[in-house]
């Protein structure tokens, strides 16, 4: 994978911000919005969570997880498969903590109810179309008339 693809992917993750964390529990698939932080040096994405939440139990049972990012306004879509683990890494919790976290958790960052999820990606696929809707419509019309594939964006698969 090229550094350009990785940087493009990382830029899109940072731009969208909120992911849907997908876990499995006894055959049931669950998704929930999570606001995390991408660490570009390792490729890991970390999230704060309550140590007794359902997602913690689900990750303890099956570490296979997926993150999806979506921003229809910018035509940005990302799906990342990987593994998650629950950590009590105080350095990461300190780094992720902010005023919003104190309000959300109703406690301080050193409280044992606060934990972190470390998501380690294996493979990602992303779609991006930076062109305007007008340009996309033109490309689709042109493709229809010429029987050629429209040039309306990027689709890359990235082994991480």
Domains of the chain, residue spans:
3-159
Residue 158 has pLDDT above 90, yes or no: no
Q: What would the two tokens of residue 42 be?
A: 């390792």
Strand partners, 65: 82
The answer to whether residues 25 and 54 touch, using CB atoms and an 8 Å cutoff, is yes
Q: What is the pLDDT of residues 115-154, one digit of tens each?
A: 999 999 999 999 887 555 555 555 555 555 677 765 556 7
Answer CATH for 3-159 from 2.40.10.340, 3.50.50.60, 3.40.50.720, 2.30.110.10: 2.30.110.10
Q: Can you give the pLDDT at residue 11?
A: 93
Residue 3 confidence class, pLDDT cut points 50, 70, 90: confident
pLDDT at 114: 97
Query: What φ, ψ does residue 3 adopt, rounded to 5°?
Result: -60, -30
Ramachandran quadrant class, 31 (left: phi over 0; alpha: psi -120 to 50; beta: rest):
beta
Task: Say what the pLDDT of residue 67 is.
Answer: 98
pTM of the full structure: 0.83
Q: What is the mean pLDDT of residues 59-63?
A: 94
| Dist. CA 138–CA 59, nearest whole Å | 45
CA distances from 92 to 13, 37, 54, 84, 142 (A): 19, 10, 21, 15, 50
Report which secondary-structure segment, H or E, holds 35: strand 28-35
For 82-104, what is each residue's pLDDT tens digit?
A: 999 999 999 999 999 999 999 99
Strands 76-87 and 154-159: unpaired
Comparing 76 with 120, which gets the higher pLDDT?
120
Q: What is the pLDDT at residue 154?
A: 77
pLDDT at 116: 98
């Amino acid at each position: 994978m090229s550094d350009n693809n990785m940087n493009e992917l990382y830029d899109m993750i940072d731009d969208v911000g909120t992911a849907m964390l997908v876990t499995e529990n006894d055959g049931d698939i669950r998704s929930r919005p999570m606001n995390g932080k991408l660490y570009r040096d390792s490729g890991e994405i970390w999230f704060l969570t309550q140590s007794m939440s359902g997602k913690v139990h689900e990750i303890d049972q099956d570490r296979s997880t997926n993150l999806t990012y979506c921003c229809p306004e910018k035509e940005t879509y990302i799906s990342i498969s990987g593994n998650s683990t629950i950590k009590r890494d105080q350095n990461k919790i300190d780094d992720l903590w902010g005023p919003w976290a104190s309000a959300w958790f109703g406690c301080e960052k050193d409280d044992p109810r606060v934990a972190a999820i470390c998501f380690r990606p294996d493979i990602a696929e992303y779609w991006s179309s930076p062109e305007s809707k007008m340009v996309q419509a033109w490309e689709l019309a042109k493709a229809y008339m010429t029987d050629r594939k429209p040039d309306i964006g990027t689709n890359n698969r990235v082994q991480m």
